[in-house]
Amino acid sequence: MAHPLYLVLGALAASAAGVPARAHFAPRSFWFLLAFPVKAARIYLTWTHVAASCRLAARRRRWRWTLDAVPVASSITRASLQLNPR
């Protein structure tokens, strides 16, 4: 009985040898099963770098949490926190 590793390696070799044959004899199924998913993943993974280098995309701004709407409960206000030059 063959070792399971040899079976896995043999299946990988057979599928790798079958890729050019499928591309030649059945180009439409090759496109939908293999080429399109690979191309879509490549574009998805590299699009941000391409768009940023072409200045097609703006940088995302992170949410900034501020306390502007929270009332101040002490005598310190924004006007009193301004710097007074001497």
Query: How would residue 13 be classed by pLDDT, with cut points 50, 70 and 90?
Result: very high
The residue count for the chain: 86
Tell me, yes or no, whether 38 lies in a domain.
yes
Tell me, yes or no, whether 22 lies in a domain.
no
Tell me, yes or no, whether 35 lies in a domain.
yes
Model-wide pTM > 0.85: no
In which residue are the tokens 């790798």 written? 16
31-71 per-position pLDDT tens digit: 998 899 999 999 888 888 888 888 777 766 666 666 555 55
Q: How many domains does the chain have?
A: 1
Tell me, yes or no, whether 32 lies in a domain.
yes
Tell me, yes or no, whether 41 lies in a domain.
yes
Tell me, yes or no, whether 54 lies in a domain.
yes
Tell me, yes or no, whether 45 lies in a domain.
yes
CB-CB contact of 36 with 21 (8 Å): no
Show the domain range for 48: 27-58
Tell me, yes or no, whether 47 lies in a domain.
yes
